[in-house]
Amino acid sequence: MTPGQILAAILLAMVITAAGTWQVQDWRYGEQLAEIDRDQAVALKNAGDDARQEEQRRQASVNKEASNAREQNKAADVDAGAADAAGDRLHVEANQFAATSCGDPGAAQRGASATRAAMVLSDLLQRADKRAGELAVAYDRARIAGQACEASYAALVK
């Protein structure tokens, strides 16, 4: 063999060795990259599952608080109905009292004036009581809504 052929054979052996080394490294890195991809896919799936579970927990707690608020509103409505009925009875009694207590057979003119004044006071009492009932209902609803909001927030922050 001539020195040129020996040199060519050495160079060819070096190229083949380098190519083999590159292929082995490529195969190793390919395996590592595939493993990294698998790990990332599993981590992504787990993160999605965790996020869904947390969202479901939060939604369940908010739904529970909303249900509690609806129940409290129903109870407040029942209480308001009972208070309205009691107020109506009070108004009837006040009207009867105003109509009967101010009449004095001896002083007809004074009795008529006193009856009118008593009727006006009875009407004012009725209006004030009605307005107070409306305000109480609005306050109850606002209080219940505020408490439900606070409870929902507290459940979400946990």
Domain count within the chain: 1
The tokens 């107070």 sit on which residue? 132
> What's the mean pLDDT in 36-59?
93
**pLDDT tens figures, 91-148:** 788 777 766 655 555 445 556 666 677 777 778 888 888 888 889 889 999 999 999 9
Which phi and psi (to 5°) does residue 105 adopt? -60, -30
Over the Cα atoms of the chain, what is R_g?
44
pTM: 0.56
pLDDT at 24 over 70: no
Measured in whole angstroms, the distance separating CA 39 from the mean position of its chain's CA atoms is: 36
- Residue 103's pLDDT is what? 52
Domain that holds residue 26: 3-157
3-23 average pLDDT score: 74
